[in-house]
């Protein structure tokens, strides 16, 4: 029989779980990292697999490529566009509550979408409501990792980013199986179960994190504790991030690159349909994409942690690979060629996601990390929203995707060139250093940890 003391002990354990102190780079940090990776797999795995639903929705509503593409593009754009309120919620209420709320919004949006009788309604239910929930989950995942890690930040970001590629790996074939067996309406309803799991995993995001002492870049002006308390979440933090050259050039490049990076995800299955390739075979292409993307995310995370390698150059390689792949895509008319494209583009995607998250979390100090993440997300959302529909509109007018893919590839190559502007700025890149002992002097810390 359960006694009163047992009940009190149980409540005490729950209290420690939800409100106890946690430390950076501890064993609990890795539990948080794995939880964030799984949430990322469910969240972005489903969002990026919209291409599987694309032909089915296009046929059901007898709509053009452009109108159908807006459904997926709006939801993708919302993942980044609503980052300012998501960042505010994370700063003021914690990543746990924000992620939990995001899971509830996704469930609500998917259920409402399953009853939609027009694409116009789906723009609201799937594009806005589900997209808003996906944004809350996405930002919470990376921001909580940024709070829980210092020394192992690059590896933790790589593992978290790995989640989305693993999600694409299994979600795309799963969606095709569900579509064939139950239809698109029941598919949306079934997928709500996975977002209930997100709500459960978000409980691991304990907000009480004890941060280790850190050293900022030599040229960054020292801030006292009062200034640190005031800068977090303030307007000044959102303006001051533009004084970091790496942030400025990378964000401009990401704005341009995001226009083309997500276009193949939305249009690939329809492109295969135009070539006479079955939907089942087309959905399997995402498996190859997910496998290589997973590998690239881990490897690029380790590369970014190497002091001899500039993360910006690693990031640029993703744009170059992606641009070449998309420029050659119109020549891929056989299934084996599309498999090669999916593998190569997966490498590009894996590097792109991991490096951008690592650069944003490390090129500014901790007080501005949320601001840098949110500003990039909002600016990139416009590019993400317009890329797929514009490619679809061009395909509707031309009757094929040839010019659409040439345009997309050209945009990615232009984004690849932009960060070279940093070469002409005679300033060292700003970087938050790894863990530094409180007893270590500023001079010793700078000598040991500052990177060229």
Residue reference for tokens 């299934």: 335
Taking the C-alpha atoms of residue 386 and residue 407, their distance in angstroms, rounded to an integer, is 13
Q: What local confidence, expressed as pLDDT, does residue 12 receive? A: 65
Q: What local confidence, expressed as pLDDT, does residue 443 receive? A: 38
Q: Is 364 in contact with 372 (CB distance < 8 Å)?
A: yes
Q: What local confidence, expressed as pLDDT, does residue 112 receive? A: 95
Low-confidence residues of the chain: pLDDT under 50: 1, 214-233, 427-452
Could you tell me the two tokens for 266?
A: 């939305």
Taking the C-alpha atoms of residue 9 and residue 148, their distance in angstroms, rounded to an integer, is 27
Taking the C-alpha atoms of residue 76 and residue 264, their distance in angstroms, rounded to an integer, is 13
Q: Report the alpha-carbon angle 286-262-57, nearest 5.
A: 70
Q: Using the Cα atoms of residue 242, residue 244, residue 246 and residue 247 in order, give the sign of their dihedral.
A: negative
Could you tell me the two tokens for 140?
A: 């919470």
Q: What local confidence, expressed as pLDDT, does residue 226 receive? A: 39
Q: Report the candidate in 258, 210, 235 with the shortest Cα–Cα distance to residue 76.
A: 258
Specify the CATH number of the domain 240-423.
1.20.1250.20
- Architecture of the domain defined by 21-211: Up-down Bundle (1.20)
Could you tell me the two tokens for 309?
A: 């390698």
Average pLDDT value over all residues in the chain: 81
308 DSSP assignment: T
Q: How far is CA 10 from the centre of its chain?
A: 37
Q: Is 104 in contact with 136 (CB distance < 8 Å)?
A: no
The H or E element containing residue 209 is strand 209-210
Q: Where in the chain is the domain with CATH 1.20.1250.20?
A: 21-211, 240-423
Q: How far is CA 150 from the centre of its chain?
A: 20
Could you tell me the two tokens for 251?
A: 């964000």
Q: What local confidence, expressed as pLDDT, does residue 15 receive? A: 63
94 φψ region: left (φ > 0), alpha (ψ -120 to 50), beta (else): left
Taking the C-alpha atoms of residue 226 and residue 249, their distance in angstroms, rounded to an integer, is 30
The H or E element containing residue 22 is strand 22-23
């Amino acid at each position: 029989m359960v006694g009163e003391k047992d009940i009190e002990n149980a409540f005490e354990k729950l209290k420690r779980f939800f409100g106890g102190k946690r430390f950076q780079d501890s064993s609990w940090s890795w539990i948080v990292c794995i939880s964030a990776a799984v949430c990322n797999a469910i969240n972005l795995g489903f969002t990026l697999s919209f291409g599987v639903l694309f032909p089915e929705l296009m046929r059901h509503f007898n709509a053009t490529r452009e109108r159908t593409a807006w459904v997926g593009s709006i939801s993708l754009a919302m993942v980044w566009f609503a980052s300012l309120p998501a960042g505010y919620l994370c700063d003021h209420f914690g990543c746990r509550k924000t992620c939990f709320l995001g899971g509830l919004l996704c469930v609500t949006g998917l259920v409402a979408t399953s009853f939609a009788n027009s694409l116009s309604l789906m723009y609201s239910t799937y594009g806005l409501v589900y997209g808003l929930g996906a944004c809350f989950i996405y930002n919470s995942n990376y921001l909580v990792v940024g709070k829980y890690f210092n020394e192992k930040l690059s590896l933790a970001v790589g593992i978290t980013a790995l989640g989305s590629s693993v999600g694409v790996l299994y979600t795309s074939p799963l969606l095709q199986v569900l579509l064939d067996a139950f239809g698109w309406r029941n598919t949306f309803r079934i997928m709500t179960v996975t977002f209930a799991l997100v709500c459960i995993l978000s409980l691991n995001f304990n907000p009480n994190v004890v941060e280790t002492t850190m050293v900022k870049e030599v040229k960054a002006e020292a801030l006292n504790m009062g200034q640190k308390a005031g800068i977090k979440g303030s307007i000044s933090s959102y303006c001051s991030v533009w004084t970091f050259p790496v942030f400025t050039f990378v964000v401009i490049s990401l704005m341009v690159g995001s226009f083309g990076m997500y276009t193949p995800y939305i249009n690939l299955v329809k492109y295969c349909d135009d070539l006479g390739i079955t939907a089942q075979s087309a959905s399997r292409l995402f498996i190859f994409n997910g496998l290589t993307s997973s590998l690239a995310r881990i490897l690029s995370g380790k590369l970014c942690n190497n002091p001899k390698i500039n993360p910006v150059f690693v990031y640029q390689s993703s744009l170059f690979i992606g641009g070449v792949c998309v420029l050659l895509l119109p020549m891929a008319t056989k299934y084996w060629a599309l498999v090669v494209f999916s593998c190569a583009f997966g490498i590009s995607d894996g590097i792109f996601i991991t490096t951008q998250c690592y650069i944003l979390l490390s090129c500014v100090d901790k007080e501005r990390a949320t601001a840098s993440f949110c500003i990039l997300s909002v600016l990139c959302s416009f590019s993400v929203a317009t890329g797929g529909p514009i490619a679809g509109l061009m395909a509707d007018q031309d009757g094929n995707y040839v010019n659409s893919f040439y345009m997309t590839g050209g945009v990615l190559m232009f984004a690849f060139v932009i960060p070279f502007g940093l070469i002409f700025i005679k300033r060292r890149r700003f970087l938050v250093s790894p863990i530094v002992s409180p007893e270590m002097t500023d001079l010793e810390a700078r000598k040991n940890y500052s990177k060229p």
